[in-house]
């Protein structure tokens, strides 16, 4: 595709040349007034839909009152309110908070906290993970080589264990999870000793790496191994958080308590704010002044986050995510039956669903996935791909999505599959 915006850096790879001028609910509108069903939600950000009135009102009112109150200098009410809201939705042990601007900053902060609190240097990540694009977080990222190629050397002290991507291995889910846990134990015996390992950093549902849902036994196993060695368990909920998977956080599906949780994307419906939550006694081991940032916990963004959390609760959007997720999963399952030569697997939790394109001999069909996304776009449905091969079409509709909109999205996708 030719690049129509010559002064915007081409480092932003683009899937289309649309200029979005307005967003409302599940829809985006372009310059010509054409309406698109946005099932990308800006990569899992606008969970309450575009420009939810509650969020808009909170932003407008806070912008007129106080825009910036720097956290080292003053405290402001939206941050205090946000802490109260987060305490209600996270595990009760996670009662200490730090705020930053992006998902990568949240993950980097979590790793810095883990290193300082444990006095240990190394971190174990899991194959296929995506944690961000700063030097530290791209070093923790293994979903695609494009994120690291040309930027070496990376941050040392990162070790990679397998993630239970059962379909890729061609094994049964529980067997794959057990194999992964065994490999992790082996890694601790062979490459990074427990007394040198600060944390396991894991996405409870693999995002960018292909929308892979591990069995609950995997996270439970990680917790057990971590406890045995006093290693911290960090759950990166940047993409899977805030109702996306049909619970407030994806770690809840396995009943596991993380030591640190990273938050961003869906936290504030599009305002740039991120954060991490950890027990206060762990936070107390983080030397004051050794981490921070000018904008972290910005007042307007924090007000948007408060409005977002309240809206998710009041409008029962998590219940909706479960119901609409079941509808979408079933509909995509029918499309898999109709297009078995193209679709190898449909999987997901709540409204975080992946459609993996594989051909004969399980060959990844990246071009087909891309063609399907483009054909859907031409018909007014916005989707994204993910996965190491780029052969997984990911479905991340807003949590406000209606039954009719899911049905419309499925029908457009059926036509797009027929075309490609
Ligand atoms: C699981 C996860 N962690 C971290 C990040 C990085 O977030 P950001 O792009 O806001 O830095 C992402 C972004 O997609 C993500 O999906």
pLDDT tens-digit series, residues 259-271: 999 999 999 999 9
pLDDT tens digit sequence for 169-225: 999 999 999 999 999 999 999 999 999 999 999 999 999 999 999 999 999 999 999
CATH number at residue 267: 3.40.640.10
Whether 101 is in the pocket of ligand 1, judged by its Cβ within 6 Å, is no
Collect all residues with Cβ–Cβ distance below 8 Å to 61 and sequence separation of at least 6. Answer: 303
Distance (Å) of CA 405 to CA 27, 320, 327, 347 = 10, 13, 11, 20
92 close to 169: Cβ distance less than 8 angstroms: no
Domain boundary among 314, 337, 363: 314
pLDDT at 1 > cutoff 60: no
Domain assignment of residue 118, yes or no: yes
User: For residue 4, what pLDDT is reported?
Assistant: 84
> Are 282 and 335 within one domain?
no
Q: What is the band of 420 on the pLDDT scale with cuts at 50, 70, 90?
A: confident
Domain boundary among 288, 314, 340: 314
- Cα 264 to ligand 1 centroid, rounded to whole Å: 8
> Are 98 and 206 within one domain?
yes
Proportion of the chain above pLDDT 70, given as a percent = 99
Whether 273 is in the pocket of ligand 1, judged by its Cβ within 6 Å, is no
Q: What is the band of 2 on the pLDDT scale with cuts at 50, 70, 90?
A: low
pLDDT tens digit sequence for 109-119: 999 999 999 99
- Cα 238 to ligand 1 centroid, rounded to whole Å: 6
> Are 173 and 85 within one domain?
yes
Whether 398 is in the pocket of ligand 1, judged by its Cβ within 6 Å, is no
Domain assignment of residue 390, yes or no: yes
Domain assignment of residue 15, yes or no: no
pLDDT tens digit sequence for 276-304: 999 999 999 999 999 999 999 999 999 99
- Cα 129 to ligand 1 centroid, rounded to whole Å: 10
Structure tokens at 253: 């599906």
- Cα 360 to ligand 1 centroid, rounded to whole Å: 33
Q: What is the band of 3 on the pLDDT scale with cuts at 50, 70, 90?
A: low
CATH number at residue 361: 3.90.1150.10
pLDDT tens digit sequence for 114-141: 999 999 999 999 999 999 999 999 999 9
Domain assignment of residue 9, yes or no: no
Number of domain units in the chain: 2
The residue nearest atom 8 of ligand 1, judged by CA position, is 103
- Cα 25 to ligand 1 centroid, rounded to whole Å: 23
Q: Give the N- to C-terminal CA distance of the chain in Å, as an integer.
A: 18
Q: Tell me phi and psi for residue 98, to 5 degrees.
A: -135, 140
Please compute the mean of the pLDDT values over residues 331-348 and round it to a whole number: 98
- Cα 98 to ligand 1 centroid, rounded to whole Å: 17
Whether 107 is in the pocket of ligand 1, judged by its Cβ within 6 Å, is yes
User: For residue 15, what pLDDT is reported?
Assistant: 83
> Are 286 and 333 within one domain?
no
Domain boundary among 266, 291, 314: 314
Peptide bond into 153 cis (omega under 30): yes
> Are 369 and 300 within one domain?
no
For 192-273, list the strands marked E by DSSP: 197-202, 232-236, 260-263
User: How many whole angstroms separate alpha carbon 238 and alpha carbon 334?
Assistant: 30
105 CA closest ligand 1 atom index: 11
pLDDT at 352 > cutoff 90: yes
Q: Which domain holds residue 412?
A: 20-52+316-419
User: For residue 300, what pLDDT is reported?
Assistant: 98
User: For residue 18, what pLDDT is reported?
Assistant: 95
Flag whether the pTM goes above 0.85.
yes
Structure tokens at 339: 């297009």
């Amino acid at each position: 595709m030719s690049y129509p915006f010559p002064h915007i850096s081409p480092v932003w790879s683009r899937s289309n040349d649309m200029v979005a001028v307005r967003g409302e609910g599940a829809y985006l509108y372009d310059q010509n007034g054409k309406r698109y069903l946005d099932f990308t939600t800006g990569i899992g950000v606008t969970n309450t839909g575009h420009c939810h009135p509650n969020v808009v009102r909170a932003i407008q009112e806070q912008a007129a009152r106080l825009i910036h109150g720097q956290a080292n200098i003053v405290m402001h009410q939206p941050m205090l309110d946000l802490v109260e809201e987060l305490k209600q939705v996270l595990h009760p042990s996670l009662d200490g908070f730090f705020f930053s601007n992006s998902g990568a900053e949240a993950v980097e902060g979590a790793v810095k906290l883990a290193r300082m609190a444990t006095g240990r240097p190394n971190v174990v990540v899991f194959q296929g993970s995506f944690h961000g694009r700063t030097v530290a977080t791209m070093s923790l990222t293994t979903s695609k080589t494009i994120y690291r190629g040309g930027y070496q050397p990376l941050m040392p002290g990162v070790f990679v264990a397998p993630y239970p991507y059962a379909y890729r291995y061609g094994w049964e889910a529980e067997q794959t999870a057990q194999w992964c846990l065994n490999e992790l134990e082996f890694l601790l015996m062979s490459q990074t000793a427990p007394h040198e390992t600060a944390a396991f950093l894991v996405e409870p549902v693999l995002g960018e790496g292909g929308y892979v849902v591990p069995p609950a036994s995997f996270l439970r196993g990680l917790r057990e191994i971590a406890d045995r060695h006093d290693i911290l368990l960090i759950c990166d909920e940047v993409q899977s958080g805030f109702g996306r998977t049909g619970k407030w956080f994806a770690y809840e599906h396995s009943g596991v308590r993380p030591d640190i949780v990273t938050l961003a994307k869906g936290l504030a419906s599009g305002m740039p704010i991120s954060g991490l939550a950890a027990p206060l006694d762990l936070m107390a081991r983080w030397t004051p002044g050794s981490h921070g940032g000018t904008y972290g916990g910005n007042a307007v963004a924090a007000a948007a986050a408060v409005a977002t959390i309240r809206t998710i609760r009041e409008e029962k959007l998590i219940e909706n995510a479960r119901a609409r997720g079941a509808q979408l999963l079933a509909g995509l399952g029918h499309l898999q039956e109709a297009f078995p030569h193209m679709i190898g697997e449909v999987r997901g939790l709540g409204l975080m669903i992946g459609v993996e394109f594989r051909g004969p001999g399980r060959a990844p069909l990246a071009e087909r996935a891309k063609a399907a996304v483009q054909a859907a776009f031409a018909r007014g449905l916005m989707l994204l791909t993910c996965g190491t091969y780029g052969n997984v079409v990911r479905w991340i509709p807003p949590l406000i999505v209606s039954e009719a909109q899911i049905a419309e999205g499925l029908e457009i996708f059926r036509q797009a599959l027929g075309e490609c």
